[in-house]
């Protein structure tokens, strides 16, 4: 190891991070229920039959009459009801055994949930978002949502599902007719999101979306089937969870301890014109 302070760069061990090991899967599905009403029993039957780990719902429209039946054995329930109006709202069930934390208390005008699911053992954490955007939502509320989206997608892997009611977007051409839809596309690009649903989800329109901020965290995406008499198609998918980044020891040069003043002085002493004479790019290529 060279002594620091004599113009040489110290070589010292450091740690680089790498992903190792296989991925783990969370089996999930999402639907716009169009009011849960008497669909709770059917929902529970589907969940138990398919053994889902996470279930996201928009427009559940629970009210005081149905609060007693909203819970599901073996699952934690996160919900955000629509304040001041009957119906609406979003919910997320996560299988017990996963440590979860709701992020961003949020603005009551935005119908979104952001839940961080902690990784088991060596698996990485992930954020699952559920959003319902009414067709008549104003620009101000849209911007509140985009601010939340930016906060949660900045560092962690994100999977966002919901009904955004933006049927004029052409995902094949990345274009839209309405200004609010174009603004949505702009934010999708700004936050490096990818929209994975390619089929219509309601009466020939693509209203329900599945967005991710990283390549590869979601697979096995299928669209089809209804919960009760809902007119929205269900979306089933798997979240492929990467292993946490592990540390491996390597040797790197510590340039922070170098004497750059001496280094510059040594470079200034070199007669570069003479040293490089006859050593153009083409000459070097011929020699190699």
Looking up residue 232, the CATH number of its domain turns out to be 3.60.10.10
- pTM for the predicted model, two decimal places: 0.74
Has residue 121 been placed in a domain? Answer: yes
Using DSSP's 3-state secondary structure scheme, residue 41 falls into: helix
Write out the residue range of the structural domain in which residue 168 sits.
24-241
In the chain, the number of structural domains is 1
CA distance 128 to 143: 20
pLDDT of residue 39: 85
Q: What are phi and psi of 223, to 5 degrees?
A: -120, 130
pLDDT of residue 281: 52
Q: Is the dihedral of CA 34, 37, 38, 39 positive or negative?
A: positive
Has residue 178 been placed in a domain? Answer: yes
Has residue 109 been placed in a domain? Answer: yes
pLDDT of residue 2: 47
pLDDT of residue 83: 62
Has residue 159 been placed in a domain? Answer: yes
Q: Are 221 and 159 a contacting pair, CB within 8 Å?
A: no
Low-confidence ranges of the chain (pLDDT < 50): 1-5, 11, 14-22, 246-252
Has residue 160 been placed in a domain? Answer: yes
- Do the strands 157-163 and 126-132 form a parallel or antiparallel pair, or are they unpaired? parallel
Has residue 139 been placed in a domain? Answer: yes
Has residue 268 been placed in a domain? Answer: no
CA distance 207 to 217: 22
Q: Are 151 and 104 a contacting pair, CB within 8 Å?
A: yes
Pick the closest to residue 60 from 29, 86, 27, 84 (CA basis): 86
Has residue 5 been placed in a domain? Answer: no
Pick the closest to residue 71 from 90, 93, 87, 89 (CA basis): 93
Distances (CA, A) of 278 to 111, 273, 275, 284: 69, 10, 9, 9
């Amino acid at each position: 190891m060279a002594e620091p302070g004599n113009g040489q760069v110290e070589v010292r061990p450091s740690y680089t991070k790498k992903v190792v090991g296989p991925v783990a899967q969370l089996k999930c599905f999402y639907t716009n229920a169009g009011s849960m009403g008497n669909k709770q029993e059917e929902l529970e039957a589907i969940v138990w039959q398919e053994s889902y780990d996470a279930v996201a719902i928009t427009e559940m429209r629970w009210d005081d009459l149905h609060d007693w039946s909203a819970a599901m054995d073996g699952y934690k329930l996160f919900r955000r009801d629509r304040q001041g109006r009957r119906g609406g709202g979003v919910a997320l069930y996560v299988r017990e055994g996963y440590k979860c934390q709701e992020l961003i208390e949020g603005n009551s005008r935005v119908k979104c949930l952001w839940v961080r699911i902690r990784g088991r053992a060596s698996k990485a954490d992930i954020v699952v978002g559920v959003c319902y955007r009414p067709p008549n939502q104003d620009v101000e509320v849209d911007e509140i949502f985009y601010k939340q989206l930016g906060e949660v997608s900045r560092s962690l892997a994100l999977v966002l599902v919901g009904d955004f009611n933006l049927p004029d977007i052409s995902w094949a051409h990345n274009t839209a007719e309405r200004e609010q839809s174009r603004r949505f596309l702009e934010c999708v690009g700004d936050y490096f999101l990818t929209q994975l649903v390619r089929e219509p989800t309601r009466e020939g329109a693509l209203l329900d979306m599945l967005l991710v901020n990283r390549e590869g965290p979601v697979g096995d995406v299928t669209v089809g089937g209804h919960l009760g008499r809902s007119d929205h198609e269900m979306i089933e998918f798997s979240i492929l969870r990467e292993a946490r980044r592990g540390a491996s020891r390597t040797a790197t040069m510590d340039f922070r301890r170098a004497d750059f003043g001496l280094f510059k002085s040594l470079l200034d002493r070199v007669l570069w014109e003479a040293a490089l004479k006859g050593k153009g790019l083409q000459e070097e290529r011929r020699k190699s």
